[in-house]
Structure 1
Amino acid sequence: MNLEDEFAQYRGQLVAHCYRMLGSLHDAEDAVQETYLRAWRGFADFEERSSVKTWLYRIATRVCLNALQHSSRRMVPSALGAPGIDPHDLETQSLETSWLEPFPDLLLSTDPAQVVGTRQSLRLAMVAALQHLPARQRAVLILRDVLAWQASEVADLLVTTTAAVNSSLQRARAEMAKLAPAEDDFSEPDEPVRRALLDQYAKAFEKADLVALKGLLTQDTRWEMPPIPTWFSGRDDVLGLLATKILPGEGRRILIETSANGQPAFAMYVRGDDGIFHAHSLKVLTLTKAGVSAVMAFHNPSLFAAFGLPIDRCPQE
C-alpha cells in the first residue's frame, strides 16, 4: 500500500475524531485537510516509533487544539436557557452563535465492529456534552475513553505528565457524568419496532397528523431547531409547536431517511410555489423503547450536501 492510500484509509476516522473535538463537520474536514498537509510535509521526519494511524491522530489532535484556541464551543439551543412555551414567539435565528452540527454516518467505516463503538461516541448528546469541557480535557477524554490510548501516550502528545493526564481524565469524566446521557439512554427499540416507529413517524409528519405523532413522542420529548435558539420540552408543548408551524395535508412535504451521529435522521423537503420540493431541515431523532424522545431539527439546507442529498427534488422523485 502506498503512502497516499494508507493516509486515505483513515480519513473517515480522523474526521470523526476532529468532529468530536470541534462539534462541526465543516471544521473537522478542514482540520483533517490540515492534518494531511502537515503529515505530507513532515513524513521525512516520521521515525516510525508509532503506527502511521497513531501519528496522524497525534497531528489531528494538535490541529484541533490549536483551532479551539480561536473559537467558541459549539452550542445546542437547550444549553442556552429554559425551554419556550409559546410557539408563536420564537427567537430569530442566531447566526452569530456557533451551533453544533450533525455528522453523516456515511463517512464512517463499514466495519460493523468499529461502527458500533464509533457511533455511540458520536451521538449528538455526547458530542454536545463534550463541548462543555475545556479543550485539553476534551482531548484527554477522547484519547483515553474513545481511542483507548495509554495515559503515557496522551501525556507525550500533550507534553505533560501521566499524573496530570489521569487527573484531567477524572475531572472530565465527572463533568460528563453530569452532562451526558446515561448508558441506558442509548438503548433503542429492537429493529422491527424501530423500523415501524420510523415509518410511522415519517408518514405522520408528512401528513402533519398530530394525533399519530402524539402516540409516537415520549411524554418528556424535546424539540430543538438550531439556528433558532427557542426550544420546547414535553409532548404537549412540542405538539403545540408542530400544530403552529406545519400546515396540514399531504403533498406539502416529504421526508427522506438518512442517518447522522449513529441515530436515525430525516431530510425534510417542503414544496414551494414552483412545485419543487426544496431542502428545509435535517431532523436527527433520538429513539427509546417508549418512542421518539428528542428531535434536533437543523434548519440549515447547506448540510444536505454532506449527506449526499440534493437541495431540490422534483415531485416525481
Structure 2
Amino acid sequence: MTSPARSTPNDDRFTAETERFRRELLAHCYRMVGSAHDAEDLVQETYLRAWRSFSGFEGRASVRSWLYTIATNVCLTALAARPIRMLPSGLTGPYDGPDRAPECAGPDEVRWLEPLPDAWIAPAADDPAAVVIARESLRLALVAGLQHLPARQRAILILREVLAFSAAETAAVLDTTVAAVKSGLQRARSRLDEVTELDELIEPTDERARALLDGYIAAFERSDAGLLEKVLRSDATLEATPFLDWQSGRAMCIHVLGAYVLGAPGDWRMIATTANGQPAAVVYRRSVDGTLRADGAVVLAATATGVSRVVKFQDPALVALFGFPDVLAS
C-alpha cells in the first residue's frame, strides 16, 4: 500500500507566495480575453507554468510581477489563435429596419463576450478603495472596448493604466522597449476612445442601483412594459447575445421586449447579483412543462438617471457560473 502524496517544503512555499494573487490574476486574464471560462483556464495554466519554474525563480522581480509576466504571455499566446470576443454593438450599428424578431447569429459566426461574476474577484472587504478600482476596471463597456485593441496594445494599456506598472516594468513583462510601450499605450488610448463610450455609473451597492435592478426584474416577472419605461433612460440601449440586432432608444427597446420577449406574467424569474462591478441578475425562463430553467444572465449599466444599457447573455451555462442551480423551484 502506497502512502498518500505529501506536499514538499517547496510546494508549501510556492502556495504561500503565489496563491494570494490568484483573484487579481483572474481579473487580469478576463480583461485580456473577455471570457470568465477562458480566464479561469488561463490562470490555471499560469500557475502550472509558475510552479514548474519556481525553483529557478531568482527574485530579481517581485513574485507578483513574475506571475503577471507569465499570465500576460499565456494570454497573448491564447489570443493569437482565437478570434476576439464581441458584443452586438461592437459589430454594427443599432437595428433600424422593418419590424421583426431580432436576428440570431450562427453558432460559429461570433465569439461572444461573457460577464464576470463579482464574487470571483472581490478584493478584501476592508479595502474599499481596492473594491472601487476593481469594479471600475471591469465595467462591461470597458472590457468590450479592450477587445477591439490589438492584443499587445491591450496588454500594455491594462498593465500601465489598470495595474499601474511602470513603463520599464511593462517593457520587461512584454520583452520589449520602453519606447515601444509608450508608443503602444498612446495608440491604445486613442483606439479605446474611438470604440468606447463610458457612462458615469453608480456603484451596485448604491440604493438607486438596487432600485433600478429591482424594477427591471419586476418588469419581466410581471410582464409589465410600463415598469421598463420607468427604469430605462430615454437613450437606453438593449443588446443580447447571440443576437446580431441591438436597439437604441427607450421606445425601441420596450417595443422589442414587449413584442418578442416579455411573454406572460410568470414566464421569467430573476435573482439579483452583481457582475463586472454592475447590478446584474441570473435569468430563468419557464419551459413548456412549467419548469423554470436556466436561461442566462443580464447586466445593467445603472446611472443616476436610470439604466443606460442592458446586456443580456443568453447562455444557460452562465447561471452555474454565478453559483445558481440549473432548475429553480416554482
The normalised TM-score by structure 2 is 0.90
What does residue 42 of structure 2 align with? 31
1:174 and 2:190 matched: yes
Distance (whole Å) between structure 2 residues aligned to residue 37 and residue 275 of structure 1: 45
Asked whether the 8 Å contact 1:88–1:244 carries over to 2, the reply is no
**1:75 is aligned to 2:95:** no
2:152 aligned residue (136, 147, 151): 136
Instruction: Note the aligned Cα RMSD (angstroms).
Output: 1.7
Is residue 2:322 matched to residue 1:310?
no
Unaligned segments of structure 2, at least 5 residues: 1-11
1:209-224 equivalences under 5 Å are 209-224=224-239
Find out whether 1:18 has 2:29 as its counterpart: yes
Residue 207 (structure 2) aligns with: 192
Aligned pairs (5 A) from 1:1-317 = 2-85=13-96, 86=98, 88-96=100-108, 97-111=110-124, 112-182=128-198, 185-187=200-202, 191-315=206-330
**Structure 1: 5+ residue stretches without partners:** none
**TM-score (normalizing by structure 1):** 0.94
Shift in CA distance, 189/10, structure 1 to aligned 2, threshold 3 Å: closer
In the alignment, residue 31 of structure 1 is paired with which amino acid? L
- Superposed CA deviations along residues 161-218 of structure 1, whole A, max 9, x for unmatched, are 1111111111111112222234x52346982322322222221221111112112111
In 1, are the aligned partners of 2:210 and 2:279 still within 8 Å (CA)? Answer: no
Whole-angstrom distance in 2 between the partners of 1:263 and 1:193: 12
Bigger mean CA offset, 277-286 vs 76-85: 76-85
Give the letter aligned to residue 118 of structure 1.
Answer: A
Residue pair 1:12, 1:108 contacting (<8 A) in 2 also: yes
Deviation at 1:109, TM superposition (A): 3.0
Report the AA paired with residue 300 of structure 2. Answer: L
Deviations 1:132-154 (A, max 9, x none): 11111101000000110010111
Q: Give the secondary-structure state (helix, strand or coil) at the position aligned to 2:59.
A: coil
Distance 1:128 1:147, change over 3 A: same
Larger deviation, residues 265-274 vs 72-81:
265-274
Partners of 1:216 and 1:292 within 8 A in 2? yes
